[in-house]
Chain A
C-alpha cells in the first residue's frame, strides 16, 4: 500500500528570460515503512522534488502532475489544508542546520511551535514533551538546552535538533534533505546511527549526494540526473550491480573505488540534450541514444533503468 504516490511530476521555473525545466515527468511511489534515497549531484532536481512534496517551492515554480497522499492530491489542496499536513503528515529535516534554525528564537520554542500547532500539548506538558524529544535524540542536559539559541550548539547537535523538530508530531513521512552534509566524519557516523534508529518503523524520503548516507539509511535508491530518474531499485542491488552507465560512473568516481572520473559536466537545467540526457558523457552511447529519449523500464527484481542497453 503506497503512502505517497508521485505521478508525472514536472516542475519548471519561470525566470526573467525563459522557462527552465527542472524536473521532468517523475513517477515513483513511497510505501509505508519504506526508506527511499534520492541520490544525484547538484542541480539534478532532487531537492526540488522534496520541496514539491512539501509544497514549499517559490511562486515562480510551475508544477504539473500529481502528488497523492492520504486520498488527496497535494498539488490541489488549499494552503490551509497543506499547513495541517506539513509537520504532522509530512515533516522535513531541512538542509543546512545553520540557516534552517531561527537564530533569535530559543530552540525549545522552535521545537514547541509545531507541537502546539498540531497536538494538544500545552504549558508544562508541552515543555516536558520538548525535553523528552531532545533527550531521546541525545542532546545533553535537555532541561537547560531548551533555553539555548542555535549558535550555542555544534553542527552535529543542531542536526539533532532538526531531527527532533521533524519527529515532534510523529509524522507519516519524513523528508530528510542532505542530513549529513557539512558534518565531520565522526559526527556524521553518530547522526547516521541516530537517524537509522529514529527511522525504524517510519517512512523516510532521503535526499542526498552522499553515497554512504544513502547506503546506510535507505532500503531503496533512485538515482537522479538532469531532472529525471535514471535508475531505481533495492539499495544493495543498485550499489553492487549498478546498471545505468551514470550510476556505474558515479560509484567509480568515489574515492574508495579509485575515483575514475566521468568525463564532462552535468547539463545545466534547460540545456539538456534531446536524446538520452547522459549520452554526451556516456562511454557506451549508441546512435539511438543520441536521437531517442529512453524510458524508465522494468528490468526485473524491482529494478527500473532508463537506458537503451537494457531494451
Chain B
C-alpha cells in the first residue's frame, strides 16, 4: 500500500548551505494493505517527520515514496490533490489540530464540503453518522473544542480524518496527551475503525506497550535511522539492536506487574 525507499530529510545551514543536519536518514519500510506499522522512537528521533513525509506534508530531501503504485514525489500539485483524500493524519494534540473557532461538527463536515462529497443537506446526516462511528454524542456537534474533554477532541479529530473514507491513515501519537482509561477507549476505537474500513495505518508512538498491542509490524527509529524492523512479536521477543533491547527492557521495567502474571481483575 505504501512504501518508503531510503527516504531522508536534512536541513541545511551555514555558509553556502554546506552544513547538513539529518533529521531522518535512509529510512525504508513498507506497509501492506490493511496492516498497521508501529513506528517507535524517542522524542527527536524523526518519527513525526517520517509520518509527515509519508503524506508529503513535509518534502523529503531524498528517496522515493510509493503510495498504491503511485510515485508520490513525482506528482505535480493537481495530481497530488487527487490523491490527498485517500491519505489522512491524526495529530498528537487535538487542541492544535482542531480550529478553536469552529464547532466540532463543522470541523468534521469541512472535508466533505471541500471535496464536494455531500450536498449541504446531506452533510448533517454524514456528520451524524461519523459522530456515531467514533462514539461522540450527536448533541456535541455544536460545541467548540474548548468545551470538550481531551478524549472527545481526539474522537472529533479522528472523525474528521475518516470523513473522506481514506485508505491510509497516519496516527501521530494519538493518545500521548490522554489519560489511561481514555487512551484505552481511543485505541480500541482505532482498532474497530481499522477493521471496519480496512485501513492501512502508520502508528507513531513512543510507548512500546501501546505499539505492541496496535501493530502487526514494528519499526524502531533511533536518531533518524531505522535500527530494526520486523513483525511486532518477533522484534519484541528477539530484539537484535542494542537500542531496541534497551527500549524493551525499559517497557518491561515500567510495568513489571503485568509481566509473567495475569492480573486477577475479579477477585
Contact = CB atoms under 8 A, between A and B. Distances in A.
B255 interface: yes
Contact of B181 (A192, A213, A258, A262): A262
B18 interface: no
Interface in B186-213: 187-188, 206-210, 212-213
Contacts of B259: 256
B254 A255 contact: no
Interface string A3-41: 000000000000000000000000000000000000001
Contact of A250 (B180, B208, B247): B180
A188 B261 CA distance: 23
B187 A259 contact: yes
A136 to B, nearest CB: 23
Contact of B209 (A236, A243, A255, A262): A255
B267 A241 contact: yes
B181 A184 contact: no
Interface string B94-117: 000000000000000000000000
Interface in A161-209: 184-189, 192, 209
Nearest to B255: A256
Interface in B231-261: 246-247, 249-251, 253-259, 261
Contacts of B181: 41, 249-250, 253, 261-262, 266
Contacts of B79: none
A240 B263 contact: yes
Contact of A240 (B150, B210, B257): B257
A209 B264 contact: no
Given A240-B261, A249-B181, A261-B181, A188 B254 contact: yes
B183 interface: yes
B165 interface: no
B168 to A, nearest CB: 23
Given A186-B247, A253-B180, A255-B209, A215 B256 contact: yes
Contacts of A209: 179-180
Interface in A220-259: 236, 239-243, 248-259
Contacts of B213: 255, 258-259
B149 interface: yes
B43 interface: yes
A188 B209 CA distance: 15
A186 B188 contact: no
Place the interface of chain B in its size category.
Answer: 35 or more
A168 to B, nearest CB: 28
A252 B259 CA distance: 13
A119 interface: no
A266 B257 CA distance: 25
B20 interface: no
B254 A251 contact: no
B264 A262 contact: no
Interface residues of A, number: 40
A78 interface: no
A57 interface: no
B266 interface: yes
Among B152, B254, B255, B261, the one with the most A-chain Cβ atoms within 10 Å of its Cβ is B254
Nearest to B257: A239
B250 A189 contact: yes
Contacts of B224: none
Contacts of A189: 249-250, 253-254
Interface in A255-273: 255-263, 265-266
Contact of B180 (A41, A239, A240, A243): A41
B255 A254 contact: yes
A41 B208 contact: no
B258 A254 contact: yes
Contacts of A262: 181, 184-185
Point out which of B150, B184, B213 has the most chain A C-beta atoms below 10 A from its C-beta: B184
Interface string B135-149: 000000000000001
Contacts of B212: 255-256
B3 interface: no
Contacts of B253: 189, 192, 212, 216
A83 interface: no
B42 interface: yes
Nearest to A235: B257
A42 B247 CA distance: 27
A236 B263 CA distance: 11
B179 A211 contact: no
Nearest to A248: B265
B151 interface: yes
B265 A251 contact: yes
Contact of B251 (A185, A192, A211, A263): A185
B262 to A, nearest CB: 9
B264 A241 contact: yes
A248 B256 CA distance: 17
10 contacts: A42-B150, A42-B179, A241-B264, A252-B184, A254-B180, A259-B183, A259-B184, A261-B181, A261-B185, A261-B188
Closest CB pairs A-B (n = 4) = A212-B254, A261-B184, A253-B184, A259-B184
Interface of A: 41-42, 184-189, 192, 209-213, 215-216, 236, 239-243, 248-263, 265-266
